[in-house]
Amino acid sequence: MPNFYSQKLKKEVVLRDPVHEYIHIEDQVILDILKTKEFQRMRRIKQLGPISYVFPGATHTRFEHNLGVYELTRRICNIFAKKYPSQRSGDGLWDDNNRLLVECAGLLHDIGHGPYSHTFEHLFGTNHEKIGQKIITDPNTEINQVLRSVSPNFPALVASVIAKTYPNPQVVKMISSQADADRMDYLQRDAYFTGVTYGKFDLSRILQEIRPYNEGICFTMAGMHAVEDYIVSRYQMYQQVYFHRVGRSMEVILQHLLERAKIIYQQGNLPVTPSLAKFLANDWTLDDYLKLDDGVMETNFSMWTKVSDPILADLTKRYLFRQPLASICIDQETKNLLPKLKDLIKQAGFDPNYYTDTNSAFDEPYDAYKPSGKNANSQIEIMQDDGQLIELSQLSPLVRSLNGTLQGDERFFFPKIMMSNSDEPQIFDPLYQKFQRYVKNGALRYIRKPKK
Amino acid sequence: MPNFYSQKLKKEVVLRDPVHEYIHIEDQVILDILKTKEFQRMRRIKQLGPISYVFPGATHTRFEHNLGVYELTRRICNIFAKKYPSQRSGDGLWDDNNRLLVECAGLLHDIGHGPYSHTFEHLFGTNHEKIGQKIITDPNTEINQVLRSVSPNFPALVASVIAKTYPNPQVVKMISSQADADRMDYLQRDAYFTGVTYGKFDLSRILQEIRPYNEGICFTMAGMHAVEDYIVSRYQMYQQVYFHRVGRSMEVILQHLLERAKIIYQQGNLPVTPSLAKFLANDWTLDDYLKLDDGVMETNFSMWTKVSDPILADLTKRYLFRQPLASICIDQETKNLLPKLKDLIKQAGFDPNYYTDTNSAFDEPYDAYKPSGKNANSQIEIMQDDGQLIELSQLSPLVRSLNGTLQGDERFFFPKIMMSNSDEPQIFDPLYQKFQRYVKNGALRYIRKPKK
Amino acid sequence: MPNFYSQKLKKEVVLRDPVHEYIHIEDQVILDILKTKEFQRMRRIKQLGPISYVFPGATHTRFEHNLGVYELTRRICNIFAKKYPSQRSGDGLWDDNNRLLVECAGLLHDIGHGPYSHTFEHLFGTNHEKIGQKIITDPNTEINQVLRSVSPNFPALVASVIAKTYPNPQVVKMISSQADADRMDYLQRDAYFTGVTYGKFDLSRILQEIRPYNEGICFTMAGMHAVEDYIVSRYQMYQQVYFHRVGRSMEVILQHLLERAKIIYQQGNLPVTPSLAKFLANDWTLDDYLKLDDGVMETNFSMWTKVSDPILADLTKRYLFRQPLASICIDQETKNLLPKLKDLIKQAGFDPNYYTDTNSAFDEPYDAYKPSGKNANSQIEIMQDDGQLIELSQLSPLVRSLNGTLQGDERFFFPKIMMSNSDEPQIFDPLYQKFQRYVKNGALRYIRKPKK
Amino acid sequence: MPNFYSQKLKKEVVLRDPVHEYIHIEDQVILDILKTKEFQRMRRIKQLGPISYVFPGATHTRFEHNLGVYELTRRICNIFAKKYPSQRSGDGLWDDNNRLLVECAGLLHDIGHGPYSHTFEHLFGTNHEKIGQKIITDPNTEINQVLRSVSPNFPALVASVIAKTYPNPQVVKMISSQADADRMDYLQRDAYFTGVTYGKFDLSRILQEIRPYNEGICFTMAGMHAVEDYIVSRYQMYQQVYFHRVGRSMEVILQHLLERAKIIYQQGNLPVTPSLAKFLANDWTLDDYLKLDDGVMETNFSMWTKVSDPILADLTKRYLFRQPLASICIDQETKNLLPKLKDLIKQAGFDPNYYTDTNSAFDEPYDAYKPSGKNANSQIEIMQDDGQLIELSQLSPLVRSLNGTLQGDERFFFPKIMMSNSDEPQIFDPLYQKFQRYVKNGALRYIRKPKK
């Protein structure tokens, strides 16, 4: 393969980063990507969206995360180039000609994200992966222009690494696998900014023991426990942070307020900034998408707190001023009780379509092998002294216990007042008490008929 | 004094905080303040404004800082109540009846801040201190309503603590002095989020050695070096973070773009959200002020990138996409050269009114005594074994070296292209070269006449 | 129960501790225990013994660990006294009259340890638990004298807490259970000094969610994941640190050198300090035991490097100058090959009795319930909102995967030279090569007969 | 210069280190030095000696510090080789042929230290620098043997780097200057193990900005504040840790007990291990020196607690069981009162020769220039953009305030009981009270005559 043209900076540029100490930029191309408007936009999109309502420190943005993934990619390339340089094609070692390519892919792997990606995609049919590909390959973007300066097909190559179609599996898996630079950065970063300690794993040991092989990237036996710990950290972060019930509650509110806004907009009564209007009208372009960010969304919400529609006004206030819904755990069996609960909620004056919801949050902390699907073959391999590979869950009882399982819960969300228990009698008290009989230890339950 | 009515929560509420581990909320009143819209608004105002352009991690907001000051205040009250409880009026020890008052003052001391406070105040005549007082005392705010639940005069008392007119100096100085909960929180917090280490001082030691006395708050001799280190940390944070030349450059751009926007608005051609419009029209209310936040500002800037006025469009792009001005140090003498430089800049096609500026950034790291002014008497005292007080700079050579001095620099900002030195010849190269002869080691200098 | 007489110090004494920031001493009794010669002796006994040969930072001593356990005990008492004060006997809440008792038990729970306890007990029939009880209850010790100043039966009560016979299960389990102050301190401390990160769990969250109940100490549901993480940390520390193959190798050498020394001593030819001589002669008193520490042992070893017995001289050099044996994993099946290996080792000139050994290192990371044995009933309980208790492994898949299992390995230790593979031919090369055919990927294996 | 023969290890060896994460060993020679008995001896000599009596965590040894200095040296070589490789002799850049030499010098710079070096040198006329030179150059040591494997003159070259006579100033100053690898390691390390935060400076920034120049090593302007902070950290560590009054008190006891032991030994009545006996008899060899370590010393002290001489027995108990002397500040003027104080102490039953002492602890935190003496020319230089050097104190007001000053104090040490103030009357109370009249706020003072 060709060595891409990369003008080295006369003096490296460093950015201070609380997670990796410094981000080192050595190439003009990397620096130029940072300066594009599409990349700078990432500064205005929080990495964890509404989770900052639960962990106030979690105001960090996709900008820093992207830089962090780039930096880890760069460090892994350094390690591979020093310890495992390829001597000849097919020796399963690292060909450092891929460096600029994988660094750019690391930097741009999340470039398609907009504000509240998950909710947004659900409602407006956007797709951050496709949009990311477009930002990289569309000749009208500044990022494309910078990438083209390397070589005409460089944008397409970067896009193929992110799309996992690039032929070299080491390059692809450095960005996308069950132990990739993306996950390693976001776990450490989200742990740092939320202030929880669960996401801290032994990154320095992992980087000490990471190595390339024919099919991608693996770890030496001496790093097994560090990788095991990383899988456990990932599990913990999902259970403790990403799936936090209050964060999910805020997301439920967000989704309902946008649904309501769509309806009110179509009725012709909604103050809205031009870029968001295009989405409410189902008629948007990449340019519109690139104008959205957290601030634009919240600016619209702020205007909507004054609209005449009481549901929209109330939901936006709940979102902006952090008034989450309450929630309880449900399961396949207790789900059957939800109509009864919704009925009580309706009697208490809330439209169940907007004020209740169910929400599943499950993650597969690790998967040894899934023969089909996009994660195929991304299992984590541990290399023995003689070069033999053993899949991680064969070595670790902890990973084995998580392997292929779904961890998380399903919840029913509803107005907090249903759980109220005031000293002063209120009109709906009997309703509330009836509701509360269905709740025990944070979960929905069947009520036993009182014995005669 | 009366013991304010404070309903204790049945179960304390804790918020995870990366700086103080947990924020503990024990009172209904504190929890209710958090829920007000005026307080939640703080989530949308970055603590360090444009400095996040220099230190990407610095996305933390005034919300967390306010919580942090509250938490430090709470901990200091705990320490004082345990170790130094007042037995009788005038004994110079701590009367814990002031606890709720000082905790509320800590929580609300910055409530008047809006987006880019410094720049904003300069341009629109707002004043965050006065606005803060109003938010607390105006019966129309939610915060006032919560505070009134304690007692009718409680809002006024909280306001008086922040305004430093409350009679008990221990209460006032816990919030406002040269070693107060405000500074202790922001130094630690800004250090954590920027990732620089300079702001880290030995908070646990300081809290071990802090104590009340008749005139306010002091530290025992065993804590002298920890307090000394705190003063040095403060100096370092100013020099390294708050006065960073790139952060100031972004602030210069911000100011000029708002100035320009005011003019264009008055010409009737500016798309602008209603709340900001009121400021551009010099006709705003508290309600308008409370609608502003970073996102609203940036949403407006984003719209302005497309306006026909080339200066405004260019400045907003520079701000949103981080294209700082360059800068050099100047002093009283070299300042005289600025007209020449501005002339070259003008010849290169830039309006000096919008593309150049001078900016002073100086801080007094510590001041032993200023008999007048608002800082009077806030010098830091160290208590000897026998109760005698010695002012800090008498004990520390480091503090003495900073005492009463102004540390910082004055800079001239201008378009970066003036310093360009391209391989490919450009039309303005002779101009640029002429300009660059005035610059050496990052400072403006007189050019020596070449000898004949 | 009586409130023990405890003279509070006029001013609390604090000790700087890198793990808990400060150790706070508020009682004269605690301070007086610290000053006894039996307690000061702990300064000279490393917490992790030969593991410092693997992790050079692990030079911390039992002195600091004992202080750390005391401090955690003190903090848990503070939390219990504030949040869960007993109102009447039998309400399952915390009776703070037990504070001084449990603090002393925490401080003294390991007081019976001597140098290399495990190896020592094996060889000389000492028993650190019995010796600890004796140090506390024997009227001739300084510690006993200090404890008696509280009340005549106080030493016996402290001893009973450590022996788990004290009737209040909250008091006992604070010191001895699967989630006690002892384990919480040593995991954090050993992690800090070794520099591995695995031992770091979320102590501040655990202390936030710990609570007393009738049968002992449990955790609220909100702390489940923090406790789960603590169990995983414990597992990791065992696998990564406590069971490190090189640490165990040094322990094997230590044991063999002491065995050899016993024989040589009985032959009358060994220079030895008086205190250790008593042990080699199987005739020691408590006073002799209290004179031993790491330095005394090493001083003896140093003298033994010059003795005429080549085995003892060599083993002590190996120990003092860190020349570990090599090792490989074995299992029930491959064990049968050991005689063959030992034979090769013997042919290479090493006495297998002194230069080989097998060593098992297995730990049960967590055990839900063992109806008999000393750990009975110490399973970790998680309290639901309604007070119901659920055993931890019912809630956590990770803990379930470890529950009741033994994690670790069994190893065969032998001279490293057997694995040598020199460029220059050596006399024993054929022997070494024969030996090495039995080793693959760090484990013993059967050699397949070459096919004809 | 020749490129020294250095066999690279097939696989680098890493040692976990809590301060630098990992120590990386890439050369057979470095690994072989570690394995020598002279180097392993360092494991048994605490880095901070009696200071561990004040900061219990400070049990770290010279072994780890030596490894740390080596590792910093290695990293600086990496940085220099990448960023500033010499192209031709005399260009002021880095010649990486010096790498192995400077790494060995870093590893061995403290090899001559024994237990309690300072006190020991004072009493027995040892000199750790000379002994270190001897260990490196004496053909009988294992270290010399390893070094000779590189080249016959390699030991002499390593010794010359440590002795600062090697001609390349970059090599010398990497080990010995006011900002060298030695100081950078011990400040960070001592801070980590004591648990104080003052010693933490921004090492990653300093390594980002360090660079070679013709006369040695300097820092770029962007690193000025980090270097300034390092100087302040150094000052703080001296004031807070190295000069701690209790640590010095233990050192005073140590010195007096050894003085007393010398006398008693000469009287023929002292149990003593052979190696130490040689020093008490003033007739020792290098081999005797290498047999000493902390444990040997304490083993002797332990035996001495039972000798018949009451002074020696008492002093060793005070040392082993941490019973420090009290102390007060003195100055040139108040010193005149010491005879009166000593007289009171004598009346109270203590021999002032053994139970009192004066001790000065002063350090020069930074010195811009001393034209003579061993520190000549080691001032810290900051390089401007154009290559001009400016001495640090010209740029930093903090460093200027410390420049050339002596910071510390002089103290008088005496038995603590002189300050006692018991509730129960004691026989010497009038003496004690008389003594205490001379003490105020921890300092000696003249007593004002009572007015008539």
Tell me, yes or no, whether C399 and C413 share the same domain: no
Q: How far is C288 from chain D (nearest CA, A)?
A: 12
Of the candidates C14, C204, C208, the beta carbon closest to that of B208 is on: C14
| Predicted confidence (pLDDT) at residue D192 exceeds the cutoff of 90 | yes
Q: Which residues of C83-102 are buried (b: 16+ CB within 10 A; e: fewer)?
A: ebebeeeeeebbbbebbbbb
Is the minimum CB–CB distance between C87 and chain B shorter than 8 Å?
A: no
Tell me, yes or no, whether A386 and A419 share the same domain: no
Is the minimum CB–CB distance between A445 and chain C shorter than 8 Å?
A: no
Q: What is the pLDDT of residues A395-446, one digit of tens each?
A: 998 898 888 888 889 999 999 999 998 777 778 888 999 999 999 999 999 9
Taking the C-alpha atoms of residue B96 and residue B84, their distance in angstroms, rounded to an integer, is 10
pLDDT at B377: 56
> B-chain residues within 8 Å CB-CB of C208?
14, 22
Domain containing B348: what range? 325-362+408-452
Q: Which of residues 357-386 of C touch A (CB under 8 A)?
A: 384-386
> C-chain residues within 8 Å CB-CB of A398?
232, 235, 398, 401-402
Of the candidates D228, D240, D407, the beta carbon closest to that of B397 is on: D407
Is the minimum CB–CB distance between B332 and chain D shorter than 8 Å?
A: no
Over its C-alpha atoms, chain B yields an Rg (Å, rounded) of 25
| Predicted confidence (pLDDT) at residue C452 exceeds the cutoff of 80 | no
First to last CA, chain C: 82
B394 found inside a domain? yes
Q: What is the pLDDT of residues A150-175, one digit of tens each?
A: 999 999 999 999 999 999 999 999 99
> Quick check: A59 and B55 CB within 8 A?
no
Structural domains of chain A, count: 3
Q: What is the pLDDT of residues A174-229, one digit of tens each?
A: 999 998 999 999 999 999 999 998 778 889 999 999 999 999 999 999 999 999 99
Is the minimum CB–CB distance between B36 and chain A shorter than 8 Å?
A: yes
Amino acid at the residue A70: Y
> Quick check: D204 and A21 CB within 8 A?
yes
Q: What is the pLDDT of residues A352-379, one digit of tens each?
A: 999 999 999 888 888 765 545 444 457 9
Q: What is the pLDDT of residues C357-398, one digit of tens each?
A: 999 988 888 876 554 544 445 799 999 999 999 999 999 988
pLDDT at A246: 97
Taking the C-alpha atoms of residue B339 and residue B345, their distance in angstroms, rounded to an integer, is 10
> Quick check: D320 and C63 CB within 8 A?
no
pLDDT band at D371 (very low <50, low <70, confident <90, very high): very low
Touching D (3+ Cβ pairs <8 A), the chains are A, B, C
> B-chain residues within 8 Å CB-CB of D239?
225
What DSSP designation does A18 have? T
Of the candidates A48, A384, A450, the one whose C-alpha atom is nearest the C-alpha of residue A220 is A384
Taking the C-alpha atoms of residue D450 and residue D452, their distance in angstroms, rounded to an integer, is 6
Strand ranges, E, within C214-356: 216-220, 326-330
Percent of chain A with pLDDT over 90: 82
Taking the C-alpha atoms of residue D415 and residue D355, their distance in angstroms, rounded to an integer, is 6
> Quick check: A236 and C221 CB within 8 A?
no
Of the candidates B34, B107, B117, the one whose C-alpha atom is nearest the C-alpha of residue B65 is B107
C1 found inside a domain? no
> D-chain residues within 8 Å CB-CB of A21?
204
Half-sphere exposure of A195 toward its Cβ, with a 13 Å CA cutoff? 26
Q: What backbone torsions phi and psi does residue D362 show, to the nearest 5 degrees?
A: -130, 140
Is the minimum CB–CB distance between D317 and chain C shorter than 8 Å?
A: yes
Is the minimum CB–CB distance between D196 and chain B shorter than 8 Å?
A: yes
Taking the C-alpha atoms of residue C298 and residue D188, their distance in angstroms, rounded to an integer, is 29
Q: Do B325 and B413 contact (CB within 8 A), yes or no?
A: yes
Q: What backbone torsions phi and psi does residue D140 show, to the nearest 5 degrees?
A: -85, -10
Of the candidates B14, B22, B204, the beta carbon closest to that of C22 is on: B204
C-alpha distances (whole Å) from D264 to each of D117, D285, D302, D308 are 22, 22, 15, 10
Tell me, yes or no, whether C319 and C330 share the same domain: no
Taking the C-alpha atoms of residue A273 and residue B279, their distance in angstroms, rounded to an integer, is 19
DSSP secondary structure string, A386-411?
TS-EEEHHHH-HHHHHHBT--EEEEE
What DSSP designation does C242 have? I
First to last CA, chain D: 83
pLDDT band at C434 (very low <50, low <70, confident <90, very high): very high
pLDDT at D370: 53
C-alpha distances (whole Å) from A173 to each of A162, A176, A320, A377 are 10, 5, 39, 10
The residues, any chain, with a CB within 8 Å of residue D279's CB and separated by 6 or more, are D124, D288, D292
B1 found inside a domain? no
Tell me, yes or no, whether A386 and A329 share the same domain: no
Q: How far is D6 from chain A (nearest CA, A)?
A: 18
Is the minimum CB–CB distance between C14 and chain B shorter than 8 Å?
A: yes
Amino acid at the residue D181: A
| Predicted confidence (pLDDT) at residue D202 exceeds the cutoff of 50 | yes
CATH classification at residue D350: 1.20.1250.30
Q: Do C353 and C311 contact (CB within 8 A), yes or no?
A: no
pLDDT band at D294 (very low <50, low <70, confident <90, very high): very high
C3 found inside a domain? no
Is the minimum CB–CB distance between C78 and chain B shorter than 8 Å?
A: no
Q: Do D59 and D52 contact (CB within 8 A), yes or no?
A: yes
Of the candidates C14, C22, C204, the beta carbon closest to that of B21 is on: C204
Tell me, yes or no, whether D234 and D350 share the same domain: no
DSSP secondary structure string, D281-293?
TT---HHHHHH--
Q: Mean pLDDT for chain A?
A: 93
Run of H or E including C207: helix C203-209
Taking the C-alpha atoms of residue A411 and residue A422, their distance in angstroms, rounded to an integer, is 25
Taking the C-alpha atoms of residue D140 and residue D135, their distance in angstroms, rounded to an integer, is 8
> B-chain residues within 8 Å CB-CB of C21?
204
- Domain boundary among the residues A264, A291, A320 is at A320
> Quick check: B52 and A43 CB within 8 A?
yes
Amino acid at the residue A334: T
The residues, any chain, with a CB within 8 Å of residue B116's CB and separated by 6 or more, are B49, B50, B251, B254, B294, B297
> Quick check: C37 and D320 CB within 8 A?
yes
Strand ranges, E, within B109-228: 210-213, 216-220
Strand arrangement of the beta sheet that strand C357-363 belongs to: C357-363, C407-414, C326-330, C443-444, C439-440
C438 found inside a domain? yes
Taking the C-alpha atoms of residue C250 and residue C244, their distance in angstroms, rounded to an integer, is 10
Taking the C-alpha atoms of residue B30 and residue C99, their distance in angstroms, rounded to an integer, is 32
Of the candidates D35, D295, D322, the beta carbon closest to that of C298 is on: D295
DSSP secondary structure string, A336-348?
GGHHHHHHHHHHT
Taking the C-alpha atoms of residue C362 and residue C102, their distance in angstroms, rounded to an integer, is 30
- Domain boundary among the residues D295, D324, D353 is at D324
| Angle, helices D99-108/D28-35, rounded to nearest 10 degrees | 20
Structure tokens at B340: 């020449």
Taking the C-alpha atoms of residue D343 and residue D338, their distance in angstroms, rounded to an integer, is 8
> Quick check: C235 and A202 CB within 8 A?
no
Is the minimum CB–CB distance between C416 and chain D shorter than 8 Å?
A: no
What DSSP designation does C177 have? S
pLDDT band at D403 (very low <50, low <70, confident <90, very high): confident
Of the candidates A44, A63, A303, the beta carbon closest to that of B56 is on: A63
> D-chain residues within 8 Å CB-CB of A208?
14, 22
> Quick check: B56 and A36 CB within 8 A?
no
Taking the C-alpha atoms of residue B155 and residue C51, their distance in angstroms, rounded to an integer, is 61
Q: C-D interface: how many C-beta pairs under 8 angstroms?
A: 124
C393 found inside a domain? yes
- Using left for φ > 0, alpha for ψ between -120 and 50, and beta otherwise, residue B350 falls in beta
Tell me, yes or no, whether A75 and A213 share the same domain: yes
Strand ranges, E, within C184-307: 210-213, 216-220
Using CB atoms within 10 A of its CB, is residue A163 exposed (0-12), middle (13-18) or buried (19+)? middle
Per-residue pLDDT of chain B (452 residues; tens, 9 = 90+): 556 777 899 889 999 999 999 999 999 999 999 999 999 999 999 999 999 999 999 999 999 999 999 999 999 999 999 999 999 988 999 999 999 999 999 999 999 999 998 899 889 989 999 999 999 999 999 999 999 999 999 999 999 999 999 999 999 999 999 989 999 999 999 999 999 987 788 899 999 999 999 999 999 999 999 999 999 999 999 999 999 999 999 999 999 999 999 999 999 889 999 989 999 999 999 999 999 999 999 999 999 999 999 999 999 999 999 999 999 999 999 999 999 999 999 999 999 999 999 999 888 888 765 545 454 457 999 999 999 999 999 999 889 888 888 888 999 999 999 999 877 777 888 899 999 999 999 999 998 776 65
Structure tokens at A403: 């392997």
| Predicted confidence (pLDDT) at residue A289 exceeds the cutoff of 50 | yes
First to last CA, chain A: 82
Tell me, yes or no, whether C221 and C332 share the same domain: no
Of the candidates B22, B204, B208, the beta carbon closest to that of C208 is on: B22
Three-state DSSP class for C419? helix
Is the minimum CB–CB distance between B204 and chain C shorter than 8 Å?
A: yes
Q: Name C94's bridge partners.
A: C85
Structure tokens at B135: 């938010």
> A-chain residues within 8 Å CB-CB of C228?
236
The residues, any chain, with a CB within 8 Å of residue C153's CB and separated by 6 or more, are none
> Quick check: D60 and C57 CB within 8 A?
yes
Of the candidates A228, A239, A401, the beta carbon closest to that of C225 is on: A239
- From the CB of residue D165, how many other CB atoms can be counted at a distance below 10 Å? 9
Tell me, yes or no, whether D96 and D230 share the same domain: yes
C-alpha distances (whole Å) from C333 to each of B218, C86, C329, C337, C446 are 72, 57, 11, 8, 9
Q: Which of residues 295-314 of B touch A (CB under 8 A)?
A: 295-299, 302-303
Taking the C-alpha atoms of residue B226 and residue D199, their distance in angstroms, rounded to an integer, is 12
- Does pTM surpass 0.90? yes
Tell me, yes or no, whether B79 and B157 share the same domain: yes
> D-chain residues within 8 Å CB-CB of B225?
198, 236, 239-240
D1 found inside a domain? no
The residues, any chain, with a CB within 8 Å of residue B153's CB and separated by 6 or more, are none
Tell me, yes or no, whether A196 and A267 share the same domain: no
> Quick check: A225 and C240 CB within 8 A?
yes
Q: How far is A19 from chain D (nearest CA, A)?
A: 13
Tell me, yes or no, whether D448 and D333 share the same domain: yes
Structure tokens at D196: 């104080």
Is the minimum CB–CB distance between B208 and chain C shorter than 8 Å?
A: yes
Of the candidates D52, D59, D302, the beta carbon closest to that of C291 is on: D302
Q: Do D269 and D309 contact (CB within 8 A), yes or no?
A: yes
Tell me, yes or no, whether B118 and B21 share the same domain: yes
Taking the C-alpha atoms of residue C46 and residue D43, their distance in angstroms, rounded to an integer, is 12
Average pLDDT for C133-149: 97
First to last CA, chain B: 83
pLDDT at C371: 47
| Angle, helices A245-266/A294-304, rounded to nearest 10 degrees | 60
pLDDT band at D369 (very low <50, low <70, confident <90, very high): low
pLDDT band at D401 (very low <50, low <70, confident <90, very high): confident
B264 found inside a domain? yes
pLDDT at B451: 63
Counting every residue written for chain A, the total comes to 452
CATH classification at residue A21: 1.10.3210.10
